Amino acid sequence: MTATETHRAIDAVWRIESARLIAGLAHLVGDVGQAEDLAQDALVAALERWPADGVPDNPGAWLMATARHRAVDLLRRRTMLDRKHQVLSHELSERQERDVAALDAALDDPVGDDILRLMFITCHPILPTDARVALTLRLVGGLTTPEIARAFLVPEATVAQRIVRAKRTLAKAKVPFELPRSSELAGRLDSVLEVIYLIFNEGYAASAGDDWVRPALCEDALRLGRVLAGLEPEEPEVHGLVALMEIQASRARARVGPEGEPILLLDQDRARWDRLLIGRGLAALARAEALGGLGGPYAVQAAIAACHARARKAEETDWARIVALYDMLLRLIPSPVVALNRAMAVAMDSGPAAGLALVEALADEPALKGYPLLPSVRGELLARLGRAEEARSEFGRAAELTENRRLRDLLLARAAPRAAIRL
């Protein structure tokens, strides 16, 4: 394996294992910031040793063992520096042994309870909402600061400051590494749901990089959502989010072409959609509706996804129903991004001219500045109106704004001077 291939392998392992690694270390040292530092130390060790020694058979366990040894050394140094703890040295040693055994067991834990605990810690009410979400996406979702910034349409420096301050706040408050009591869950649930949603979105349509989808992130988000549904079985929005993810995940095989290129919704072979996942999603949606109707944004988005899932052909889609659902969603979340999606639904229901008028009204929205979907949607609607040169210009602008190579290639192909404009 070449050095380049080894570094790619390390990056892939880190994406998969970092959340469990940080969660397990936080359980041991009781500080999420310190846990991330220890995990990063293990990553540096891998970068130093794996190119020469080769990637281990169980890279996740190697990272955990390396970080764990450093964590135990850290705990021992703490004890030596604090004379009060000398009296308790035997008890501390026993505790270390118990924690190490627990970490070993966590490696084989398919549910990932430590990750769920970490999510509820990073979504602690002592943190502002934006800091909770940014920190959890960083530690649990494995997203980089630039990826989080793109998800929120805010500067990278802002996200970085939120994460640093959040870790300091949690360390100062000495927040325990445990799931909150049932009476405390509600105060953190919205942030946890938002984090799971954003992790899934980054996996479903990667904001940057060479891959259009990142299946591991989708799988992590789905697993966490299902676990959360077991913890909170009477919360309609938990089931709404699970329904949304199940239905969206059902399209995975149809969303990527043989060369890794994106295949957009209306062009997908719906025979390749996973009917089992659709069935699970529709069942979760029915559960959400039985508990609370369509009273929350995740349930409404799941209902929109269900309209697509129930249409065996694209032309059978109930666009009028989708527009009505977007109206509901806009009342719940008055967001320009939701308004842009609604404009496309209106175009499908009432014609491209009606949709384009709504898109033009959003052109000066500050939150959409630099957002590639705005010119992409505008280009699509201009193309449908036969305004080919304007459409190509918009596709070119959208390509300049996106940092995902696969999507950029698709947009550049549509922006090419001799490209056929789909009507």
Task: Round to whole Å and give the CA distance between 104 and 83.
Answer: 30
Q: Binning pLDDT at 50, 70 and 90, where does residue 1 land?
A: low
Q: Using CA atoms, how far apart are residues 383 and 413, in angstroms rounded to an integer?
A: 14
CA distances from 66 to 38, 46, 356 (A): 9, 9, 56
Per-residue burial over 117-136, b = 16 or more CB atoms within 10 Å of its CB, e = otherwise? bbbbbbbbeebeeebbbbbb
Average pLDDT on 306-330 reads 97
The model's pTM is: 0.75
Instruction: State the chain's mean pLDDT as an integer.
Output: 86
CATH of 318-423, one of 1.20.1250.20, 2.60.120.1440, 1.25.40.10, 3.40.50.720: 1.25.40.10
Give the model's pLDDT for residue 402: 94
For every residue of 244-301, DSSP letters joined together read HHHHHHTTGGGSB-TTS-B--GGGS-GGGS-HHHHHHHHHHHHHHHHHHTT-SHHHHH
Question: For 241-265, what is the mean pLDDT?
Answer: 95
Rg (CA), the chain: 23
According to DSSP, the β-strands at 208-209 and 403-404 are parallel
The burial class, CB within 10 Å (0-12 / 13-18 / 19+), for 296 is buried
Per-domain residue ranges of the chain: 1-109, 318-423
- pLDDT-derived band of residue 51, with 50, 70 and 90 as boundaries? confident
Residue type, 105: A
* Cα 361 to the center of its chain, rounded Å: 29
Between 1.10.287, 3.30.200, 1.10.1740, 1.20.120, what CATH number should domain 1-109 receive?
1.10.1740
* CA distances from residue 367 to 73, 148, 205, 363, 400 in whole angstroms, order as listed: 47, 15, 19, 10, 17
State the pLDDT at residue 88: 46
Is the pLDDT assigned to residue 102 strictly greater than 50?
A: no
**Picking from 61-75, 174-188, 307-321, which range would have the lowest pLDDT averaged per residue?**
174-188
Higher pLDDT, 51 or 27: 51
Give the max Cα distance, the chain.
82
Residue type, 97: E
248 pLDDT band, cuts 50/70/90, is very high
